């Protein structure tokens, strides 16, 4: 079993539950061979995803209150959509970038497997509220940045795991407080799992961002603002979860930059 080729096959699966199950099966099987040097031709139609949810511009995704069942379902749907996209992001890192150490590909397969668990937990909870994944509109911001950085591994590591996904470190505790106030203890518990794992995922992004910068003779702190501007990354907004960001490997200089950039 060659890991990178198999990751590309899984990325092309459109049905969410099938994709999540297949990713977890691959990760749990172990024993992969990794051809780190293979340059794989990109097929058309990436990523595989279902016809629903309907994708709309981010500003057209309505804000929902967690204090109604419908609103809470819509909110959890938006998180499930992020987790489904995160499966795709991790799989894309596994197959796309040749010439990295074997640990790079193993790290991102682990991320894909954990994102698959997150998606499954959220979808199952969503079903208890009378809805399913696909029932509400969603946006494509995460995959858009993935596509923009397809040919620049430094930018990919800088702007997907440690910028877009790191926003979840900041957003999750306030969201948990709202869900707790709404009486949804199960959702709060699921987000506990997600926050714990996402600290690890962002740490993986930090690890490989610094590796790729060092390999290219770049200063990871100095070049970051230029990458944000070049690839039109969204501006991050406070409050920032400094403790979680430190646990994920952000330096004090990087945390200070967030405050200055507001």
pLDDT tens for 146-196 read 999 999 999 999 999 999 999 999 999 999 999 999 999 999 999 999 999
Q: How many CA atoms lie within 13 A of 261 on its CB side?
A: 19
HEC assignment per residue over 62-92: CCCCCCCHHHHHHHHHHHHHHHHHHHHHHHH
pLDDT above 90 (res 130): yes
Q: How far apart are CA 15 and CA 48, in angstroms?
A: 8
Cα–Cα distance list, 138 to 25, 48, 117, 128, 260 (Å)? 27, 16, 20, 20, 31
What integer pLDDT is reported at residue 59 of this predicted model? 87
What integer pLDDT is reported at residue 262 of this predicted model? 65
Whether omega before 47 lies within 30 degrees of 0, making that bond cis, reads yes
Every domain of the chain and the residues it spans: 3-261
Mean pLDDT of the chain: 95
Q: pLDDT grade, residue 259 (50/70/90)?
A: confident
Classify domain 3-261 at the CATH topology level: Ferritin (1.20.1260)
Q: How far apart are CA 194 and CA 168, in angstroms?
A: 9
pLDDT above 70 (res 202): yes
Contact call for residues 233 and 163 (beta carbons, < 8 A)? yes
Q: Angle 113-128-20 (CA atoms, 0-180°, nearest 5)?
A: 15
Question: Can you state the percent helix, strand and coil of the chain, rounding each to 5?
Answer: 65, 0, 30
Contact call for residues 2 and 32 (beta carbons, < 8 A)? yes
pLDDT above 80 (res 107): yes
What integer pLDDT is reported at residue 258 of this predicted model? 85
CA 187 to chain centre: 19
How confident is the model over 54-67, as a mean pLDDT?
A: 89
CA 81 to chain centre: 10
Phi-psi region of 132 (alpha: psi -120 to 50; beta: other; left: phi over 0): beta
pLDDT in tens, 214-235: 999 999 999 999 999 999 998 8
């Amino acid at each position: 079993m060659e890991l990178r080729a198999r990751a590309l096959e899984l990325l092309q699966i459109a049905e969410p539950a099938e994709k999540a199950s297949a990713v977890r099966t691959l990760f749990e099987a172990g024993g992969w061979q990794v051809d780190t040097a293979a340059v794989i031709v990109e097929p058309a139609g990436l990523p595989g995803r279902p016809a629903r949810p309907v994708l709309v511009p981010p500003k057209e995704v309505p804000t929902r209150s967690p204090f109604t069942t419908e609103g809470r379902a819509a909110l959890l749907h938006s998180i499930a959509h992020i987790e489904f996209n995160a499966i795709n992001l991790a799989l894309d890192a596994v197959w796309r970038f040749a010439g990295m150490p074997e640990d790079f590909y193993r790290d991102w397969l682990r991320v894909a497997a954990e994102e698959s668990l997150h998606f499954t937990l959220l979808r199952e909870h969503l079903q208890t509220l009378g809805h399913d994944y696909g029932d509400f509109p969603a946006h494509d911001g995460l995959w858009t940045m993935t596509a923009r950085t397809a040919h620049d591994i430094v930018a990919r590591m800088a702007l997907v795991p440690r910028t877009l996904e790191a926003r979840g470190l900041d957003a999750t505790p306030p969201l948990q407080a709202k869900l707790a106030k709404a009486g949804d203890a199960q959702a709060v518990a699921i987000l506990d799992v997600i926050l714990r794992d996402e600290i690890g995922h962002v740490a993986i992004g930090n690890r490989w961002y610094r590796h790729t910068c060092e390999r290219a003779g770049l200063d990871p702190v100095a070049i970051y603002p230029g990458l944000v501007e070049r690839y039109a990354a969204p501006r991050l907004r406070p409050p920032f979860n400094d403790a979680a960001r430190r646990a994920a490997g952000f330096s004090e200089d990087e945390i200070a930059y967030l405050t200055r950039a507001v």
